Structure 1
Amino acid sequence: MHSGSRLRFRAESIAVAEFTGLHRWSVVPGARVREGACSCGRFDCRTPGAHPLDCSPEVPAGTMLAEATAMWAKIPDATVMLPVGRAFDVIEVSESAGRRALVRLERMGLPLGPVTATPDGRAQFFVAPGSADQLPELLYRLGWDHTDALDLRGLGSGTYITAPPSDRSGLGPVRWLREPDLLSETTPPPARLLLGTLAYVAHRSRG
């Protein structure tokens, strides 16, 4: 590894150990874009640098520091991805709307989980598992019966997000807008607490 790769690997291996050992999240090795192509090797890859690697071992939630670091050392070129639908679901909006909504939510004193910003301009709010399935009904109850007016979607079981500090799609690193803490990462808030504000700001942003 050259020095840049070593520094990247060190940062990502530390993140993996924290996610599994401290926050009790499973980690999945993901593909990376190298020289314009996805490291999965498929020439027709539809999501280059933004999907789990086939046949690479998951680092389970609860894995301690030494073991997590040793497991990650076997796949040093992988990105860090988190499976959605286990410890948390995700509500995703544009980054600009997400930043404004986050300020409002913090001023309101509502419980919040982690929030990430992706290099393609999306903000991802961690919420309680099962929230993605409830999203259409919750939005309907809030008066949003035409959800195509909102640049908002839920990610649930079977989906994966790239975690900081990994690169996504060769566009740059994912960043924390609100870092996980010892409370929020184990008890992400119900979507209903955040959704009114997120939907309102997302709608205003599109308008």
Structure 2
Amino acid sequence: MEETIAGAPNTQIAGQIPQQRGESLLETAVRYAEERHWDVFPGTWLEAVAGMQRCSCSDASCPAPGAHPARPDWATQATGSATVARRMWQKQPTASILLPTGRTFDALSVPESAGFLALARMERMELTLGPVTLAPDRRMHFFVLPGGCAKVPELVRKLGWSLSSLDLVALGEGSYVAAPPTRFGSRGAVQWACRPTPANRWLPDAEELISPLAYACGRDR
């Protein structure tokens, strides 16, 4: 099943890497590496314990069950090779799909409410978006060119804000995002708010998106 948001506006938010109904995590991870040239690595997974979905990390209070790194050296495990990705998910087919930031893309993370407000504003501005995810923790991640993370504090300051006053987080080297169809315990799956397409293979720079994102975060406070 496609992990996409029903009723998302605009055709730009409607086309995805073709995904077959019932496609496995393994097949999806391989496609990300093969078609988008994204580095991928397997994270934790969900296990049924006493009829409930629990994270494989065994922490009963895990804040992101089944959707975080399974080992501290995850950055060295990440690969852009479809062959290696296939091998890793064959070992653990239910592992979440995690994408390291700071390599082929950075990500700008905002609350869901601010994200949808920003998407509507970007559509009116006719901005070309990269992929955007919506996670069950109610945060959206806008993919931008790598290196964009470092520019964000100064870009926000020029708009009259301080980054500390906005719930806007720039994710670069050393961070990661969970990719569809990764599930966060019983809270549901990560979805595409703006799906990967041939048209958005070339990502926007952080500078192109920061104004509508900062504005939306300021409204959302």
Fold match (TM-score > 0.5): yes
Structure 2 residue 131 is the aligned partner of structure 1 residue 114: yes
1:32–1:168: 8 Å Cα contact kept in structure 2?
Answer: no
2:46–2:94: 8 Å Cα contact kept in structure 1?
Answer: no
C-alpha distance in structure 1 between counterparts of 2:22 and 2:58, whole Å: 21
Structure 2 residue 13 is the aligned partner of structure 1 residue 13: no
Structure 2 residue 145 is the aligned partner of structure 1 residue 132: no
| SS in structure 1 of the partner of residue 170 of structure 2 | strand
39-48 vs 170-179, greater mean Cα deviation = 39-48
Structure 2 residue 22 is the aligned partner of structure 1 residue 29: no
Q: Which runs of 5+ in 1 are unaligned?
A: 1-6
Structure 2 residue 95 is the aligned partner of structure 1 residue 63: no
The equivalent of 1:163 in structure 2 is 179
> CA offset at residue 155 of structure 1?
0.8
Number of paired residues?
A: 196
Q: How does 1:1-207 map to 2 (within 5 A)?
A: 10-34=23-47, 35=49, 37-41=54-58, 48-54=65-71, 58=77, 60-63=79-82, 68-144=85-161, 146-185=162-201, 187-206=202-221
> CA offset at residue 12 of structure 1?
1.4
| Partner amino acid, structure 2, of 1:199 | A
> CA offset at residue 148 of structure 1?
3.0
**TM-score between both structures, scaled by the size of structure 1:** 0.83
C-alpha distance in structure 2 between counterparts of 1:155 and 1:170, whole Å: 25
| SS in structure 2 of the partner of residue 173 of structure 1 | coil
Q: Deviations over 1:92-145 (max 9, x none)?
A: 11111111211211221112100000101111100111112221111111111x
Q: Deviations over 1:51-85 (max 9, x none)?
A: 22227884622426xx6445422211211110111
1:25–1:87: 8 Å Cα contact kept in structure 2?
Answer: yes
| SS in structure 2 of the partner of residue 124 of structure 1 | strand
C-alpha distance in structure 2 between counterparts of 1:147 and 1:191, whole Å: 14
The equivalent of 1:4 in structure 2 is none
| Partner amino acid, structure 2, of 1:157 | E
| SS in structure 1 of the partner of residue 97 of structure 2 | strand
1:162–1:168: 8 Å Cα contact kept in structure 2?
Answer: no
Q: Let me know the Cα RMSD of the aligned residues.
A: 2.6
The equivalent of 1:3 in structure 2 is none
| SS in structure 2 of the partner of residue 167 of structure 1 | coil
